[in-house]
Structure 1
Amino acid sequence: MNKKIPASIIRQIFVVLTLLMAAVLIIYEMLPYLGGVLAAVTLYVLLVPAQRFFEKKGWKPWIAATLLLVVSIIVILLPIAGLALMFTSQIKDALANSDKITEQIKAQIVQIEEYVGFDVIPAINGDQVKSTLSYVFSNFASSSLTIFIAVGVMFFILYYMLVERKTWQNATLRYLPLKKKNIEAIGKESIDLVKSNAIAIPLVAIMQGAVALIGYYIFGVENPFFWFGVTVIGSMIPFVGTALGIGPVVILLLAQGNTEAAIGVLIYGAVVVGSTDNLFRLIVQKKLADIHPLITLIGVVIGVPLFGFIGLIFGPLLISLFLLLIKIYKNEYGDRDETI
């Protein structure tokens, strides 16, 4: 006699498949703004202690959340917007004077080649330089709308995470198929890692940028605060580092005929700025969660292509949570008497 599949099982499978399809569709459509979602989670971890503090003082949740959003806009968005405006202005100036800059660089390269006796760099095409700068500028402009929407999504999610934090925390405990102690372990691990990376990475970058800024002033670099911003951004990017700011400064000084200052900035950047990375990182990491360098390296390599710039934080978090889930699985289902 053939056994029939119970109708309840068929209905359950249908509901699960529908949920999976809806989840895939939602995630696919949200991918361009995933950075905003993850940034909201990061800011929530950093701001929720202040939210609790204000609520204990008798503030209404929505008033406390609004104040924290305004503060985060002033502290985070305004400096970024200022740097973006400076970047746009510099690119426009470079486009307007690209032929002059190219000729200056060529003249300096000719002098270097005459001194060393061989070709240092292949011929520089002025039109190619201009087209490259135009491409960078147009890409920056075209991504502005996506960035604006992602920032809006970030603040919208952050507001409701702060105001209704108890609701979604209780929902997490209720619906995740794990024991309460394991959910709490995941939460603690996530909070520690987010705090560590969200604070340590920008703080170390700003400290390195400040050291570089001193050098820019010493050697008379034009627009030192702009190059300070570029150096800070470069310091947060793996395998690029402060060279993103120091390299162009050296090239510009050479193009201006200021060879001594260019050599000075190059040596200062390589010796002084370069050596501060490990020192500052060691000082900051002692105050925060101790993350293994291998987890950070692998996490960043995976996280940046996957999540964008915010992957600097969530890449290592993804690796750490993966290892934690393996440990939780072993504790819940593994035989403690058996070894591999």
Structure 2
Amino acid sequence: MASFSNRLRQVILLVALTALGLLLVRELYIFLPGFLGAVTLYILSRRWYLVLTEKRKWNQNLTATFFILSFLLLVGWPMYFIINLLTPKINEVFSHSQELIQGLNAVSAQIKEWTGQEIFSAQNMKELQKRVANFLPAFLNSTAMILSNLIMMLFVYFFMLTNHTSMEKSFDYFLPLREESIDILGKETFSMVRANAIGIPLISFIQGVFALIGYWIFGVNDFVLWGFLTGVFAFFPIIGTTIIWLPIVVYLFSQGNSGAGIGLAIWSLLVTGNVDYLARVTLMKKLGNVHPLVTVLGVIVGLSLFGFWGFIFGPLLISYFLLLFKIYTSEFGPIHAVDNPHQHG
């Protein structure tokens, strides 16, 4: 009877814990990108923080504050630069929206002449105009969410640094794995985060440079600016760079520069698009032995789950799945086949 009573209390406690956990996850999910950003910063800066606080005896709180201010400086200045570059261009697009539509019609007419298929119908153009009108409110809403997650990220990052010892010791208690398996997880996490946090920006920079060369060859004005923006949007796989070069192609068509528009489209598809794959094969393999397929699929999954930080934690999610499968087979799978070799005889 006592055993039944204990089992019942255990079930009730587990149900309560599960319900509270789901409630917390649901309410705090919007801050998940901020938490993942804090984890990224902690992994990348942990070594330097320990050197300053343990070897050089710096004050922990002051060192953590120094790291946060350094991050804001390194990220804030480029963001300010990007906003200053984008604002006049966005205003120009909104003030010349009719020319953009004419350019789209020119592209549609050219494609129809080649293939017989109409890409931009009257209905599609109305839908595009509606999306352009709704862009600004959606952008302002996402900006507020980004700022909220930035504050959460810095808040969590500060306490991860100042409480790193107790936090890391708790992993041994909460993770139901052997010590060597926990070490493997830790090394895999560090390797993947470093590879993606360093490798993907480098790959984006390479794509931006090749896009810049294409814009220069085909006579695009402000080719340095557009190359820079192409590199920024190269973070997003498959359609990332297309967001920049396709409107430029459309603009060239709208100005009657059909030859330059066709040439830039071919360059962007064959060169700018493929240099991404070549860089992933070489650079990501060297940084963290990350397969390009894991990176591409991981980013696609991660962006929908985690937002911007999905470019790091999406590939990590796939790597964790494969790694945990290996750990499971090493801890539980083969053991049963070896424990009793005569069980079939």
Does the Cα contact within 8 Å between 1:40 and 1:157 map onto a contact in 2? yes
What is the distance in 2 between the residues matched to 1:72 and 1:45?
A: 14
Cα displacement (A) at 1:69: 1.5
Secondary structure at the counterpart of residue 337 of structure 2: coil
**Aligned match of 1:202:** 201
**Aligned match of 2:342:** none
**Aligned match of 2:132:** 133
Does the Cα contact within 8 Å between 1:193 and 1:289 map onto a contact in 2? yes
What is the distance in 1 between the residues matched to 2:282 and 2:91?
A: 39
Cα displacement (A) at 1:152: 0.7
**Residue 81 and residue 12 in structure 1: after superposition, are their counterparts in 2 closer, same or farther (change >3 A)?**
farther
Per-residue CA distance 1:294-333 (angstroms, 9 max, x = gap): 4334433432222223222212211221222222223323
**Residue 118 and residue 321 in structure 1: after superposition, are their counterparts in 2 closer, same or farther (change >3 A)?**
closer
**Residue 172 and residue 116 in structure 1: after superposition, are their counterparts in 2 closer, same or farther (change >3 A)?**
closer
Cα displacement (A) at 1:246: 1.6
Does the Cα contact within 8 Å between 1:95 and 1:134 map onto a contact in 2? no
Q: How does 1:294-305 map to 2 (within 5 A)?
A: 294-305=293-304
In structure 1, list runs of 5 or more residues that go unmatched.
Answer: none
TM-score for both structures, normalised by structure 1: 0.86
Q: Which amino acid aligns with 2:272?
A: V
Cα displacement (A) at 1:188: 0.9
**Residue 181 and residue 268 in structure 1: after superposition, are their counterparts in 2 closer, same or farther (change >3 A)?**
same
Cα displacement (A) at 1:286: 4.2
Cα displacement (A) at 1:265: 2.0
Cα displacement (A) at 1:337: 6.6
Does the Cα contact within 8 Å between 1:88 and 1:137 map onto a contact in 2? no
Answering whether residue 330 of structure 2 is matched by residue 331 of structure 1, we say yes
Does the Cα contact within 8 Å between 2:252 and 2:261 map onto a contact in 1? yes
Cα displacement (A) at 1:189: 1.0
**Aligned match of 2:56:** 57
What is the distance in 1 between the residues matched to 2:134 and 2:223?
A: 25
Q: Which amino acid aligns with 1:170?
A: K
Per-residue CA distance 1:95-143 (angstroms, 9 max, x = gap): 222124324554x459848976967544457665432212122211122
Q: Which amino acid aligns with 1:21?
A: A
**Aligned match of 2:10:** 12
Answering whether residue 67 of structure 2 is matched by residue 74 of structure 1, we say no
What is the distance in 2 between the residues matched to 1:297 and 1:250?
A: 26
**Aligned match of 1:32:** 30
Q: Which amino acid aligns with 1:268?
A: W
Q: 1:21 aligns with which of 19, 22, 31?
A: 19
Secondary structure at the counterpart of residue 58 of structure 2: coil
After superposition, the CA RMSD in angstroms is 2.8
Cα displacement (A) at 1:7: 4.0
Per-residue CA distance 1:140-186 (angstroms, 9 max, x = gap): 11222111111111111111112221120012123322222211111
Cα displacement (A) at 1:227: 2.4
Q: How does 1:75-90 map to 2 (within 5 A)?
A: 75-84=74-83, 86-90=85-89
Q: Which amino acid aligns with 2:64?
A: A
Per-residue CA distance 1:33-91 (angstroms, 9 max, x = gap): 21111111112111112212222223222222222222222222432344345445433
Does the Cα contact within 8 Å between 2:281 and 2:291 map onto a contact in 1? no
What is the distance in 1 between the residues matched to 2:292 and 2:110?
A: 40
**Residue 85 and residue 142 in structure 1: after superposition, are their counterparts in 2 closer, same or farther (change >3 A)?**
farther
What is the distance in 2 between the residues matched to 1:114 and 1:173?
A: 63
**Aligned match of 2:271:** 272
**Residue 20 and residue 89 in structure 1: after superposition, are their counterparts in 2 closer, same or farther (change >3 A)?**
farther
Q: More displaced, 325-334 or 44-53?
A: 325-334
**Aligned match of 2:192:** 193
Identity score, percent:
32
Does the Cα contact within 8 Å between 2:100 and 2:250 map onto a contact in 1? no
Cα displacement (A) at 1:200: 1.1
Does the Cα contact within 8 Å between 2:44 and 2:194 map onto a contact in 1? yes
What is the distance in 2 between the residues matched to 1:193 and 1:210?
A: 25
Q: Which amino acid aligns with 1:291?
A: V
What is the distance in 2 between the residues matched to 1:166 and 1:110?
A: 61
Secondary structure at the counterpart of residue 177 of structure 1: coil
What is the distance in 1 between the residues matched to 2:321 and 2:155?
A: 29
Does the Cα contact within 8 Å between 1:213 and 1:228 map onto a contact in 2? yes
Does the Cα contact within 8 Å between 2:112 and 2:118 map onto a contact in 1? no
Does the Cα contact within 8 Å between 2:109 and 2:118 map onto a contact in 1? no
Secondary structure at the counterpart of residue 338 of structure 1: helix
**Residue 252 and residue 160 in structure 1: after superposition, are their counterparts in 2 closer, same or farther (change >3 A)?**
same
Cα displacement (A) at 1:251: 0.9
**Aligned match of 1:172:** 171
**Aligned match of 2:210:** 211
Cα displacement (A) at 1:195: 1.0
**Residue 143 and residue 274 in structure 1: after superposition, are their counterparts in 2 closer, same or farther (change >3 A)?**
closer
Does the Cα contact within 8 Å between 2:99 and 2:254 map onto a contact in 1? no
Does the Cα contact within 8 Å between 1:91 and 1:137 map onto a contact in 2? no
